Amino acid sequence: MTRREIEDTYEVRDGIIQSLGKFEAEAVYAPYFYAVYLDGCADDDDGEVLTFTVEPEDIEQFPELAGRTQVKFYEGDQGFFTELDC
């Protein structure tokens, strides 16, 4: 999923998804990493926390990731995909 696809699918304001649902109030890149996870490409999945290494191609689409080496997400019981502070 590309940034363009995300912005065409969800209402995004100031890099935050405004649309109600799974990615509500999360960074624009949350659906991108969720798609990576669904493709079986999380770098680590301990059964609760999903960890992804931030690659140059990720930063190319999502410049707000510059300076980060990884992102971590948790999918809660209510189905929300929430970024954890690293």
Q: In this predicted structure, what is the pLDDT of residue 23?
A: 98
Check residue 71 and give its pLDDT.
98
Domain range for 34 is 3-84
pLDDT at 86: 61
Nearest 5 degrees, angle CA 77-CA 23-CA 30? 110
Which pLDDT value is given to residue 26?
A: 98
pLDDT score, position 51: 98
Neighbours of 55 (CB within 10 A): 11
Overall domain count for the chain? 1
> Cα dist. 24→18, 41, 56, 67 in Å?
6, 23, 26, 24
Q: What is the pLDDT of residue 85?
A: 84
The C-alpha atoms of residue 5 and residue 65 are separated, in whole angstroms, by 18
Mean pLDDT, consecutive 10-residue segments, the chain of 86 residues?
Answer: 97 97 98 97 95 97 97 95 89
